[in-house]
Amino acid sequence: MRILTCLKPGEFAYSNGHVPEIKKGYALIKVQRIGICGTDLHAFEGTQPFFNYPRVLGHELAGEIVEIETHADYRIGDQVSIIPYFSCGTCFACTQGKTNCCSTLNVFGVHSDGGMAEFILIPIQALFKSASLDLDALALLEPLSIGAHGIKRSQIKPHEFVLIVGAGPIGLGAAAMASLAGAQVIMQDVNQNRLDFAMENLKISYCINPQKEDALLALREITHGNMPRVVIDATGNKKAMEHSFQYISHGGTYVLIGLQLNEISFSHPEFHKREATLMSSRNATREDFQWVADSIEQKLIDPNLFISHRIAFEDLASQFPDLINPSMGVIKAMVSFE
């Protein structure tokens, strides 16, 4: 089978490998779709935390079960998505239902080799099936669920203002799920093309480009002086993350979906006087996957809107550097083995 490995920052290589042998509690999956996410791009750039090389990337996946032991929920031929956060099930976080932040979490394609291969062996408990979703939608469940988890963490209430900083795939997914939760969504980014995408395709009413206007003044005007009750960072950019502390309303919440390699700092007096809440949002849970799947099935979200580029697996190594170039206008690149 064909495998694509990131040998070191900036370097990919194809190789041939053996199809994994089936073992108890696992399913053999023929990979058919791979979504390219920020983690993959950061790994290629050499800026991804908790990462070692060489590594087979890829965790936004959809494929077909080609071998599995007898199971009540899955059978050969089923098309599935992968919940790529392999947890221990016994640590404190897991016993509280927070398998997304297990103390010994193994993220497929990050901590261990992932899905940029023709066949992969996956724990049955990490499979997610939906009879009505196609392969593209199944592959998009994971990135959309990342945003969904952050929205759930923030406990958004209908009609309140939510600022999402960063209009990349995760931020756009968070915006879509926040809208479904009833929020008035404000998006902020320095990439005007992505803001235009949000307005046109996600019907986001308020978009701010801080390179073109004073973001603080714009937010005060939009929120009638109150500022957003929820601020969500989906950039992972140190400067953006630190700068966004000033946007939180009094009594508000700041959720960090984006992940930064280094420390961040902020003014404690400004944070303290707001009695604000700061929280991280890591990965997603099966419940988040189900919320997104249900939303797609009910046609509340159109996953096809997010796919801007399609790439054949054999062309991925040569085209991967282009995906980092802002001028390419990439929202979500989808890789296919077909």
User: Domain check: are 123 and 33 in the same one?
Assistant: yes
Q: How many angstroms separate the first and last alpha carbons of the chain?
A: 14
Q: What is the dihedral of CA 310, 316, 322, 323, to 10 degrees?
A: 60
User: Domain check: are 108 and 31 in the same one?
Assistant: yes
Q: Using the predicted structure, report yes or no on whether residue 336 has a pLDDT greater than 80.
A: yes
The percent of residues above 70 in pLDDT, for the chain, comes to 99
User: Domain check: are 168 and 56 in the same one?
Assistant: no
The 10s digit of each residue's pLDDT in 134-193 is 999 999 999 999 999 999 999 999 999 999 999 999 999 999 999 999 999 999 999 999
Specify if 154 maps to a domain: yes
The tokens for 32 are: 């058919």
The 10s digit of each residue's pLDDT in 42-74 is 889 887 777 889 999 999 999 999 999 888 899
| Predicted local confidence at residue 317, as pLDDT | 95
Domain count, the chain: 2
CA 14 vs CA 5, 21, 228, 287, 317: distances in Å: 6, 21, 47, 35, 8
Instruction: Give the C-alpha separation, 335 to 74, whole Å.
Output: 25
User: Domain check: are 35 and 112 in the same one?
Assistant: yes
The tokens for 227 are: 């500022």
Q: Using the predicted structure, report yes or no on whether residue 88 has a pLDDT greater than 80.
A: yes
Instruction: Give the C-alpha separation, 47 to 210, whole Å.
Output: 25
Specify if 302 maps to a domain: no
User: Domain check: are 273 and 315 in the same one?
Assistant: no
User: Domain check: are 212 and 326 in the same one?
Assistant: no
pLDDT band for position 327 (50/70/90)?
confident
State the CB neighbour count (10 A cutoff) for residue 87.
Answer: 24
Specify if 298 maps to a domain: no
| Predicted local confidence at residue 31, as pLDDT | 98
The 10s digit of each residue's pLDDT in 270-298 is 999 999 999 999 999 999 999 999 999 99
pTM for this model (two decimals): 0.95
User: Domain check: are 113 and 59 in the same one?
Assistant: yes
The 10s digit of each residue's pLDDT in 201-254 is 999 999 999 999 999 999 999 999 999 999 999 999 999 999 999 999 999 999
The tokens for 43 are: 């790994």
| Predicted local confidence at residue 228, as pLDDT | 98
Match 């700068």 to its residue by tokens: 243
Check which CATH number belongs to the domain holding 203 and give it.
Answer: 3.40.50.720
Specify if 295 maps to a domain: no
Check which CATH number belongs to the domain holding 76 and give it.
Answer: 3.90.180.10
User: Domain check: are 111 and 48 in the same one?
Assistant: yes
User: Domain check: are 72 and 194 in the same one?
Assistant: no
User: Domain check: are 15 and 118 in the same one?
Assistant: yes
Domain boundary among 237, 262, 280: 280
Alpha helices by DSSP H, 85-161 = 92-95, 135-154
User: Domain check: are 121 and 6 in the same one?
Assistant: yes
Specify if 299 maps to a domain: no
Mean per-residue pLDDT for 92-107? Answer: 95
The tokens for 155 are: 């406990």
State the CB neighbour count (10 A cutoff) for residue 316.
Answer: 21
Specify if 258 maps to a domain: yes
Structural domain of 248: 147-280
Specify if 211 maps to a domain: yes
User: Domain check: are 117 and 215 in the same one?
Assistant: no
Specify if 181 maps to a domain: yes
